[in-house]
Chains A and B, each alone.
Chain A
Amino acid sequence: MERSGPVVRFDAVGLAYPAPGGGLGAEVLRGVSLALDDGSFTWLLGPSGAGKTSLLRLMHAALRPTRGAVEVLGVGTGAAPRRTLPELRRRIGVVHQDLRLLPHLSIFDNVALPLRLGRRPESVIAEDVAEILRWIGLDHRAHARPEELSGGEQQRAAIARAVVCRPTLLLADEPTGNVDASQARRLLALFAEMNRLGTTIVIATHSEDLVQRFPAPAMRLERGRIRGHDEG
């Protein structure tokens, strides 16, 4: 589907979390303006605490901006009614830094979650999940619980869950932090393939090695502000 304009647009966005004593705390993002084109691939770089995860959460509509305007896939998330946000979130795949696999479900059921929320038939779900697990090298662990998997395997399962729905926008927070170099290359190849097929991708990472291996535009975040936007 062709879309006019950017997939993600931030206009002078500020974000502050609620303070423990009530009201809002200090801003963790300040005056952030950006625009990500449809089908783009962007690295999000910056030291820990720079605000990378908060920026991704704003893109995922898991947070609303406290200042400025955020538009994701044509939806202004700041003022959008709550009922419109689930539909938006279903079009966005997210790999969290802490993975967030459900411990009581098997890997198969974890990966199947987005498809089941989309009410796909079980036969389609079985096929799609088996395919992505095979691609990501976890087909032999489909019935294991997350706790039975290594850190790298869990990370791959979390990625499988994020991409199984073929999202329009994929957000990943340190998606290769727990895997070895060869697995990291394989995952990067998956992201590159998805990007080639039209998915807009934003990956937050510390790994300069990863960025060098896949040159692409990079946004540098420092103390809640965008300090640079390299064109790769």
Chain B
Amino acid sequence: MTRAERARRRAGARDPLGLRRAMSDRLLQALIAAMALLAALTFAGARAADGFAERWRSGAESAVTVQVPEPSLTRMALALGVLSVMPEVAEANPVDGERMAELLRPWLGDQPALPLPGVIEVRLRDLNADVALIGDRVAEAVPGAVTEAHGVWVARLAALARGVRGMALAALALVVLIAVAVVAVAVRTGIAARQESVLVLHQLGATGSEIAGRFARRAAALAFGGGAAGAALAVPAFFVLARLAQPFGDAVPTEGLGGLPWDRVPWIDLALVPLAAAAIGWLTAQAVVRRWLARLP
């Protein structure tokens, strides 16, 4: 027996229905790849929305600002001193006067005579701390000092992030449904191409699960390939997104191999994409083939 004959015999043993040819549709893999890319980006969008919400909550929500009118060195030091001994305060930093002037220039122009208040940024140890109480104690020590929390804004931003996340998950569900439909059409085409062979196997005593299993393994393999290609295509998109999202995050920009932010790519989520695609392919093929076989005795 030649090597080619041995290879053909192995192929015959593994694939008696000839599904490698009947379901070799590259279009299916391309479509799955496109959907995997969409799913990866959508999922990343959902995760990013979650991440932003969390960051805003842990960053902005804990940030309380104390404005000190007539910010003399003494008054500022007094306010900082009061804040620093409070157990609920994690950190209190005065905002540099020049930076304040710089930030306000677009609105106020160069008006050095305008009396700007001194601003102290406060990070809270506990989000549930009573900001009004902190404000009262600061105002007691430094008359005229005003303390402000940003709770309302944070709530609005968090609601927006939740909305974005919900939309992303709905889009993800839609992608999954389309993937199921695409695989179902491909499996039906495969059944139509190999109808006689399926009937012969059935008559020789193959069980429904044996026949469905062959289609399911083929569909899962194709979907896995498509999913892996889609996930690979998503990596450059993640690099771009990571760069765009950098200014919103508080992480120090990292430059990895080739100057790319490798650590900002959700590798585990990406690895799950081909596995999820394979699972969708397997389950869909099982359902379609078993339903088709149910008409036989």
Chain A contact residues, CB within 8 Å of chain B: 60-64, 77, 82-83, 85-92, 94, 100, 102, 104-106, 108-109, 112-114, 116-117, 122, 143
Contacts and interface: CB of A to CB of B under 8 A. Distances in A.
A102 B19 CA distance: 12
Question: When A and B form their complex, which 6 residue pairs have the shortest distance between CB atoms, in order from nearest?
Answer: A109-B12, A90-B205, A104-B18, A89-B205, A86-B207, A86-B205
B254 interface: no
Given A82-B297, A109-B9, A143-B5, A116 B203 contact: no
B13 A104 contact: no
Contact of A143 (B8, B13, B297): B8
A77 B205 CA distance: 14
Nearest to B1: A143
A114 B204 contact: yes
Given A109-B12, A109-B16, A62 B203 contact: yes
Contact of B297 (A64, A87, A91): A64
B13 A116 contact: yes
Contact of B8 (A82, A85, A90, A106): A106
A83 B207 CA distance: 7
Interface stretch (B25-33, B136-144, B193-201): B193-201
A102 B18 contact: yes
Contact of A105 (B12, B199, B203): B12
Contact of B16 (A60, A63, A113): A113
- Interface residue SS majority, chain B: helix
Contacts, number: 72
B210 interface: yes
Contact of A104 (B197, B207, B208, B210): B197
Contacts of A63: 297
A71 B17 CA distance: 31
Nearest to B11: A109
Given A104-B21, A105-B16, A112-B13, A89 B203 contact: yes
21 contacts: A61-B297, A82-B208, A86-B205, A88-B205, A89-B204, A90-B205, A92-B205, A100-B199, A102-B18, A104-B21, A105-B16, A106-B9, A109-B12, A109-B13, A109-B16, A112-B13, A113-B16, A113-B201, A113-B204, A116-B16, A117-B201
A105 B18 contact: yes
Nearest to B4: A143
B107 to A, nearest CB: 76
B100 interface: no
Interface in B52-104: none
Contacts of A82: 208, 297
B110 to A, nearest CB: 83
B206 interface: yes
A100 B204 CA distance: 11
A205 B201 CA distance: 25
A62 B205 CA distance: 10
A166 to B, nearest CB: 14
Interface string B202-223: 1111111010000000000000
Contact of B204 (A77, A90, A109, A122): A90
B196 A100 contact: yes
Q: Which of B21, B196, B204, B206 has most chain A Cβ within 10 Å? A: B204
Contacts of A91: 205
A143 B18 CA distance: 16
B16 A94 contact: no
A86 B8 CA distance: 27
A85 B18 contact: no
A15 to B, nearest CB: 12
B189 to A, nearest CB: 16
Contact of A117 (B199, B205, B297): B205
Contacts of A117: 201, 204-206, 210
Contacts of B18: 102, 104-105
Contacts of A109: 8-9, 12-13, 16
Contacts of A64: 297
